[in-house]
Amino acid sequence: MLVSVIKEVMYSEKLKNQYTLPCIVAAIATLGSVILIQRRQSEIEDDGIATVPYILPLFGSTLLHNRNELKFAKETAEKYGPVYRAHLFGKIVTVVGAGHAEEVFTHPNMSFNASQEKKFKASHFFMDSPFELRKNSIQDSIVKELTPKLKQYSPRAYLEVQKKLNSTSC
């Protein structure tokens, strides 16, 4: 049906001008994007955690959050409870309130250490024994973890050094 409407609009003598085709392409692209985003959202596991509704698919709740972070946190916690999902900074994130944060670290099904292993492998420090550091563990960790990400860390480290130098200069 959509194709027949598009064909009718394209071949209509009244609507033929230089803007018709770009408008149709833009409309189809927008419709496709909305459908794709809705499908992606529906794939999120329904585990009973409320999701904060939003209007802008790319920004989600980011604009409201950035306007007043504390107000956003209080209002959403009052409305959706201490644990909820929000579309912030381009990702769907799960927000855990302070009263439930301990649960994240102590519940057997939630492993803080496992989540940190994705970014920085602490196992490099404790290869031989979980209770003592190996002689070269820090060096090995730097070589395996930090060196490949040096371009990511270097600008930030440089800015921190500059701040310290500027704050200590007379």
Beta strands in 16-60 (DSSP E): 50-51
Q: What pTM did the predictor assign?
A: 0.42
In sequence order, what are the residues at sequence separation of 6 or more whose Cβ sits closer than 8 angstroms to the Cβ of residue 86?
A: 51, 52, 54, 60, 61, 65, 76, 92, 93, 95
Res 154: pLDDT: 74
| CA dist 73 → 21, 43, 48 (Å) | 44, 25, 19
Task: Encode pLDDT of 50-108 as tens digits.
Answer: 888 887 777 888 888 889 988 998 899 899 888 888 888 888 888 888 777 766 666 66
**Above pLDDT 70, what percent of the chain?**
56
- 31-45, 72-86, 128-142: least confident range: 128-142
Task: Kindly tell me if the per-residue pLDDT of 40 is higher than 70.
Answer: no
Side chain identity, residue 105: F
What pLDDT was estimated at residue 51?
Answer: 85
- Domain range summary for the chain, segments of one domain joined by +: 1-43, 45-110, 111-170
How far apart CA 68 and CA 160 sit, in angstroms, is 27
φ/ψ of residue 88, rounded to 5: -125, 135
How high is the mean pLDDT of the chain? Answer: 73
